[in-house]
Structure 1
Amino acid sequence: MFNRLCVIGVGLIGGSIARAARQHGLCDSIVGYGREQDRQNLQTAKQLGVIDDYTLELSKAVQGADCVVLATPVASIESIFALLKPLWSDSAIYTDVGSTKGSVIAAAERIFGFVPDNFVPAHPIAGAEQSGVTASVNDLFLNKRLIITPIKNTNPIAAQKIQRFWEQMGSLVSVMDVVHHDGVLAATSHLPHILAFALVDMLGHKDEQSEIFQYAAGGFKDFTRIASSDPTMWKDICAANKDEIIPLIEQLKGELDKIQRLLETNDTRQLFETFTYARNARQRFLDQFDNN
């Protein structure tokens, strides 16, 4: 499918893309790019066979590449675009893996004055709490959602090729409007991470005076698992998508206020109905997920 794949940012996601692309024969060679502080990680990636070679010079990394994947945190996308601008090739396809798409599109517009038609915004709905190339795996994207968010001027041939690329790595590809994507992810991913971080932050401070964590059951561990995620990455994601997240936080405050009132008035019937609706809604989600 591609002759030379360039992965900018060979971490969990970038490394897993490289592994999957190699496993499924989607490219002839893979080169990784990073900064000086990424040298050890890149050396490890080469030693593990995740990439064929690496360089700290972007011009060398993209030279001859017909597919360039930006697998860096969303906060760094604009600086990557700035570095790529003088090196941009009309014969290559560029894509990214950012968790927010509006911020990525805006970054491209600030750097280029427009969004290049051979840039295909994408977002794999996959990940783990670990980071770095040692956490990368061959099947991270197998049967996982991948959302492509083309805009009006996106080259349809480039978009189709990126779609095939992800499909051949086992992803379930959907095409979605940028604004719709950011709204959906704010509700299903960004807000849950904020909730987990906030709950553990609150209980962590309480735990300094008591033994809350010592007696935490399995449900606490399950609910707060995502609070083990990279704080820097999630700080950047939430800041980039704050316009979608803030209204959801307001809605959640209203829901918590409602539950507080039900407790204060001993309205256990309504409390039961609220909990029952939530349980049934989650079961509908699970049934839909299992059927897919």
Structure 2
Amino acid sequence: MTATRAQFGTVTIVGVGLIGASLGLALKQAGVVTKVLGVGRSKANIDQAQKMGAIDGVVDLVEAAKQSDVIVLCVPVAQMRATFEAIEPHLESQTMITDAGSTKGDVILAAKEVLGKKACQFVPAHPIAGGAQHGASAAKADLFQGKQTIICPIQENSPQDTDLIIRFWESTGSVVKKISSTQHDAIYAAVSHLPHILSYALMASVVNSEDAEQKLSHVGAGFKDFTRIAASSPEMWRDICLGNRTAILKELDQYLAIVSHMRKLIAENDGVGLEKLFNKASKARQDLDGL
């Protein structure tokens, strides 16, 4: 379904960094909101968001709960519980909440525990969009265009409320998919959370070596491509690692087993075994480009 003009009324974005400010720009460009308000910790960042037109005004969480038709939580996942606690006493019955968190199980648990009967007003989401840079200054209106947004409805959500939040994310240009929160956390531990951990780990390994300066002065495109996402927000990724700990540890253990096997092949001078492993991985990566 296509969004009609101003159908989402007043939207408040809590956390106007890359995702939040880009969301404000996208909603305003689509003409589906009356106004966009912003809540933020950093005055410089929220001033930047207002200056670039991502938000029309600044409010606190109490006013956000009282004034908004839709509230979008774009804060690090560890801050979700405190945000729900601030909103809950003032939350109007018609106000919907969605989020942009990269983990879902922990956020849903916090919502149910804090919001109680009002948890039905929260439809969890995760836009699969972003970049290595963070903050409002990196925001762009087309960030979500053609990208997936995962919706993980909870049993308390009504079909109408779920549809509203689906249309909300579709209005940004997103392609919306529905999966369970358990599926979401298992999948993204493998295809998003683990790659970020490995990128940080490689960067840390080189930086902590005795000849770090020499190594870094000789990096090429491969190293830069692999470590690009290590420039992402450390606070956000700390929270994701702890919030999705069980699924991430499972993926990390599997990865370490593969690395251990590769080390053994190299130590034993087993070129045939190495090439077989590399061939399988290489073909799978080439096939990805056809998707």
Q: TM-score, normalised by structure 1?
A: 0.94
3-state SS in 2 of match to 1:150: coil
Matches within 5 A, 1:157-236: 157-206=160-209, 208=211, 211-236=214-239
Please tell me the root mean square deviation across aligned C-alpha atoms, in Å. 1.4
User: What is the match of residue 2 of structure 1?
Assistant: 8
Q: TM-score, normalised by structure 2?
A: 0.94
From 248, 252, 260, the equivalent of 1:249 is 252
From 68, 72, 76, the equivalent of 2:79 is 76
Q: Which stretches in structure 1 are left out of the alignment for 5+ residues? A: none
User: By how many angstroms is 1:6 displaced?
Assistant: 0.9
Q: Structure 1 CA distance, aligned partners of 2:38 and 2:251?
A: 38
> How big is each residue's C-alpha offset from its partner over 1:218-272, in whole Å with a ceiling of 9 and x where there is no partner?
1001011111111111111111011001111111111011111111222211111
User: What is the match of residue 40 of structure 2?
Assistant: 34
Cα–Cα, structure 1 residues 280 and 25, in superposed 2: closer, same or farther, change >3 Å? same
One-letter identity of the residue aligned with 2:49: A
Residues 8 and 168 in structure 2, CA contact (< 8 A), matched pair in contact too: no
Cα–Cα, structure 1 residues 44 and 278, in superposed 2: closer, same or farther, change >3 Å? same
Residues 105 and 115 in structure 1, CA contact (< 8 A), matched pair in contact too: no
Matches within 5 A, 1:105-184: 105-113=108-116, 116-184=119-187
Q: Structure 2 CA distance, aligned partners of 1:62 and 1:150?
A: 21
Q: Structure 2 CA distance, aligned partners of 1:208 and 1:89?
A: 58
User: By how many angstroms is 1:51 displaced?
Assistant: 1.0
Is 1:25 the counterpart of 2:31? The answer is yes
Cα–Cα, structure 1 residues 235 and 114, in superposed 2: closer, same or farther, change >3 Å? farther
User: By how many angstroms is 1:115 displaced?
Assistant: 6.5
Q: Structure 1 CA distance, aligned partners of 2:212 and 2:227?
A: 20
User: By how many angstroms is 1:114 displaced?
Assistant: 5.8
Give the number of aligned pairs.
285
Q: Which stretches in structure 2 are left out of the alignment for 5+ residues? A: 1-6
3-state SS in 2 of match to 1:116: helix
> Which contiguous aligned blocks of 4+ residues in structure 1 show a shift greater than 6 angstroms?
none
